[in-house]
Structure 1
């Protein structure tokens, strides 16, 4: 997370310059290399270094958010961004399962793996290798991934040639009409909300497992690790169904802001009810904990996906509105600018998502330690 915090803005800006596809492919390549090296680490400093490099060189999240908004029609933006969140959620469920089943294979499966083999000498290499192979398959599939960033260089030159800067009240050319991301109040406010709820959700995930395995004398649930894994798996399945089948309808009828507000308000009484579950037992306890974790996941997804949609929608060139009157005075120039301005929401979308990912990574780096200490 610290590595991502330092590098995400850079990768977002680069994605705006050279395209989404190259950054996505390069990020997958770094997963293949550094995740494999992490499994082969023999010293603590090597493990930390490979993780830091993996976070720094993996610029996937900012471009993939921009890509999901650009590859879908506007009415499907909610579905596209919710699929990104779904992918992250599935990874949080499947990833620990792969680690649990494949770590230390020489001890877990002595009939298949010898202590003298590479998997015996590097007990965590097998799960890392499996993840790297998955990333390699996805990297190869990037060959068929279409690029969504369209530069229209020739059209931009034509607009500049026809443009008479003295006719524009502001005295600015079209190409200089980008607004600073940091002065974009809708963008910054949505990023702040995104970071706060990311901190909240990460802290919740940290505390949930700790609370579940703690003894009932301390207010915990006295559950075994496999029981916690089962709860998380069921929660992940419910989350997947919600994001693929339900969320787009919620977004359609309520919108990003209203749905996020309702979800945030409902989260308060839900979380306040968690401590009382330790007083339940049997079927009532099972129904309560499964229902609560599924509902908490859907509420968090509603908030985080809604704020992601707000971030992507906030990156719009407002100068196009100011220059509309001038464009109408010349029909040919107006037609050219209509094509040009269709591209405008793209020109800072990667950087905007990079800023968001940087801030979110910082909050995610703080959340586990802060929640654990509290």
Structure 2
């Protein structure tokens, strides 16, 4: 189950409100809440009740799929590519493959704040376009690299241009209202899953075509000298389509710096830009970023452990699935996660609100993890009745358990809620995603190491890693209680008579 990297609103929406009640409104008075100007003057968020701009959401989700496609497309052939380019022994391939991927995350962590700041200053659309172009170029040159050093350089360059996700999050926030944001961000998460699904298929199918399909591509010198160029060309083609559509049809959502005048009355200047420290001190920001990071911690740990656990023998703490069963299990979980995100989350969010839906998901997380412990224990007994019960529990874990993935979207909406004003939304997303990138740089390796220690030494019957993760998941419920209440529930009056 992949986190939607990362990284799960209107003029009267949550991100624009402070904890103060709104001032009286008139047609000629700028709308001020606390000491912040709202999007009525400073952003392009639609008024409450406006339908979701489907074309804009589609373009943004299409662009979102490009980053995971580029990131995951190299996974099927990176080990072979490392060995080929470095003439390495089998024992060294894993080290260099892991190094290349770790450097991507490390580079991304360093530059995300920069992309967020640019999105809040020069505009969302140009920053998104440069990110897409840079990622496409870097990925293509990675696939034609002929040495490990070239691979490292171009993978780091790809990490430098990996800011599209946070810009897209920001633009979705700008485009949506309190009523439509849950649907939009559900599709955002779905697009991320589509990219994760398509990336390995593109890379695995098109890698080394002269070897895989000699009848069609054999004897073509270009493909023999550069066996991964076809995969790189396919990824680039997808990115070019997204770039062209974005250039032609995607709307900018950040208003210009300069103030405007209407009927001789000057509109107020853009809200004062906040420093990073001031942003972190804003009401609710620090706790939401903590919860965001906490959720990502659980997601990254689980994603790393799952395939190893499914493969591990029963007597050591796993379920001993065959490669085919592992692929079917992960496909079922992926499809289930997509269904929860698209179908269930918007309804749950409308009924319970952002904080309520996040609380519900977080409450289920420990049970979801415990399900894998129960599955192993049932198989260890090995009787006909326990095996039958195993399949019942497995059904619940595979089809219902992935509902916890709605926490990813819910915590993104909570992040939107606490933004002091729309002109720091990019920076706020960058802070959260930087923290998530830092977590991703070490949590998968540490999690699988702890799993291996528990299995090898049979600590708690091989369930040491779950004995650590379940309490961590339980503590998340405590932090969620400290989140501010949904600001979208603070309804602004439509006119003076309703005040």
TM-score of Structure 1 vs Structure 2, range by shorter chain: 0.7 to 0.9
Q: Distance in 2 between matches of 1:58 and 1:93?
A: 18
Matched, 1:192 2:290: yes
Distance 1:236 1:162, change over 3 A: closer
1:211 aligns with 2:309: yes
Alignment pair present for 1:352 and 2:428? yes
Per-residue deviation at 1:234? Answer: 2.5
**In structure 2, do the counterparts of structure 1 residues 17 and 93 end up closer, same or farther at CA, with 3 Å as the change threshold?**
same
Q: Does 1:367 align with 2:465?
A: no
What corresponds to 2:41 in structure 1?
A: none
Q: 1:230 aligns with which of 322, 325, 328?
A: 328
State yes or no: 1:257 paired with 2:333: no
Residues 1:128 and 1:292: Cα distance change in structure 2 (over 3 Å): farther
Among candidates 139, 144, 147, match of residue 252 of structure 2: 147
Q: Is the 8 A contact 1:231 1:290 kept in 2?
A: no
Question: What does residue 90 of structure 1 align with?
Answer: 194
Q: Distance in 2 between matches of 1:89 and 1:283?
A: 32
What is the distance in 2 between the residues matched to 1:124 and 1:254? 48
Unaligned runs of 5+ in 2: 1-104, 451-499
Distance 1:177 1:39, change over 3 A: closer
SS in structure 1 at match of 2:215: coil
Correspondence for 1:326:
none
Q: Deviations over 1:116-139 (max 9, x none)?
A: 533333333333332221111111
Give the match's secondary structure for 1:154.
coil
Are the structure 2 counterparts of residues 174 and 29 from structure 1 closer, same or farther at C-alpha, using a change threshold of 3 Å?
closer
Separation in 2, partners of 1:156, 1:232: 56
Compared CA separation, residues 349 and 174, structure 1 to 2 (3 A) = closer
- Residues 174 and 222 from structure 1, CA distance in 2 versus in 1: closer, same or farther, beyond 3 angstroms? closer
Alignment of 1:166-181 (within 5 A): 175-176=271-272, 178=274, 180-181=278-279
Query: CA shift at 1:198, angstroms?
Result: 0.6
Secondary structure of the residue aligned to 2:163 is coil
Which whole-Å CA distance do the structure 1 matches of 2:146 and 2:392 have between them?
Answer: 44
Q: Do the aligned residues in 2 keep the contact of 1:90 with 1:236 (CA within 8 Å)?
A: no
Which of the pair has the greater relative contact order for Cα pairs under 8 Å at 6+ separation? 1
Quote the residue 2:237 is aligned against. 133
Q: CA deviation at 1:46?
A: 1.8
TM-score, normalised by the number of residues in structure 2: 0.62
Determine if the alignment matches structure 1 residue 73 to structure 2 residue 177: yes
Greater shift, 70-79 or 98-107, is seen at: 98-107
Distance 2:240 2:270 in 1: 42
Contact 1:199/1:363, CA 8 A, preserved across alignment: yes
Between 19-28 and 287-296, report the one with greater CA deviation.
287-296
Q: In the alignment, is the contact (CA less than 8 A) between 2:209 and 2:223 conserved in 1?
A: yes
Q: For residues 265 and 441 of structure 2, what CA distance do their matches in structure 1 show?
A: 45
Distance in 2 of aligned mates of 1:155 and 1:25: 27
Gaps of 5+ in 1: 164-172, 317-344
Write out per-residue CA displacement over residues 284-331 of structure 1, whole angstroms, 9 at most, x where no aligned residue.
65664454234333212x212111111112112xxxxxxxxxxxxxxx
Distance change (3 Å), C-alpha of 1:80 and 1:49: same
Would the aligned equivalents of 2:166 and 2:429 in 1 still touch at CA under 8 Å?
A: yes
Say if 1:370 and 1:226 are closer, same or farther in 2 by CA, change over 3 A. Answer: same
Instruction: Note the C-alpha offset of 1:174.
Output: 7.5
Q: Name 1:103's counterpart in structure 2.
A: 207
Q: Which residue does the alignment assign to 1:55?
A: 159
For residues 28-69 of structure 1, the C-alpha deviation after alignment (integer angstroms, 9 at most, x for no partner) is 111210111111122222222211111112211211111111
The corresponding residue for 1:168 is none
In the other structure, the counterpart of 1:292 is: 397
Structure 1 residues 178 and 75, CA, compared in 2 at 3 Å: closer, same or farther?
same
Which SS does the other structure have where 2:321 is aligned? coil
